[in-house]
């Protein structure tokens, strides 16, 4: 049974990698690749985003892409809705993932974001739906039939994070390759 689970996990990872590669090629053709700033790239290195992505089964570059979209790497960012930190945690979600009151600690919030994104990917089965859940709340993804909710902000959010993710996988000219 364990061997079957291991093979299924390996196959799923290979399929995800193939889908990620196809998405990157499509994004490049459409010009949907956005540069991630040097602040986020430095934080990714300092706080080992790559190791967290590997540990939690996330696509390489996803934490940088999310941080870039959420706050441009600003650990002290605050949204009008009440989200805070580089990964813009709402208070309830921060508490749920063990970082309540510590959202401005990038190391802790990156780990919490990795845990949350991994949970969302396992729950919804795709990066896009995980991102939609991260932005609009997992209840909204479920409410709309496990699809990206029809909110302009969330639809735009998923596209923008994917554009940053494409950059992390190949740069604007193929020069950045963290995958």
**Catalytic residue list:** 70
Q: Which residues contact 46 (CB under 8 A, 6 or more apart)?
A: 106
- Encode the chain in three state secondary structure: CHHHHHHHHHHHHHHHHHHHHHHHHHHHHHCCCCCCCHHHHHHHHHCCHHHHHHHCCCCCCHHHHHHHHHHCCCCCCECCCCCECCCCECHHHHHHCCCCCCCCCHHHHHHHHHHHHHHHHHHHCCHHHHHHHHHHCHHHHHHCCCCCCCCHHHHHHHHHHHHHHHHHHHCCCCCCCCC
**Phi, psi values for residue 152, rounded to 5°:** -55, -45
């Amino acid at each position: 049974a364990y061997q079957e689970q291991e093979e299924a996990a390996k196959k799923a990872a290979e399929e995800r990698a193939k889908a990620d590669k196809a998405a990157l090629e499509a994004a490049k053709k459409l010009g949907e690749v956005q540069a991630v700033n040097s602040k986020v790239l430095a934080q990714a290195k300092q706080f080992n985003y790559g190791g967290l992505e590997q540990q939690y089964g996330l696509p390489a570059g996803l934490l940088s892409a999310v941080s870039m979209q959420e706050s441009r790497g600003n650990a002290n960012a605050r949204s009008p809705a009440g989200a805070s930190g580089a990964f813009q945690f709402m208070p309830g979600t921060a508490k749920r993932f063990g970082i309540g009151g510590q959202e401005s600690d990038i190391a802790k919030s990156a780990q919490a974001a990795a845990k949350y994104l991994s949970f969302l990917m396992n729950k919804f089965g795709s990066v896009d739906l995980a991102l939609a859940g991260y932005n609009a709340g997992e209840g909204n993804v479920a409410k709309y039939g496990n699809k990206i909710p029809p909110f302009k902000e969330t639809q735009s959010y998923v596209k923008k994070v994917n554009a940053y993710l494409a950059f992390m996988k190949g740069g604007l000219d193929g020069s950045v390759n963290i995958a």
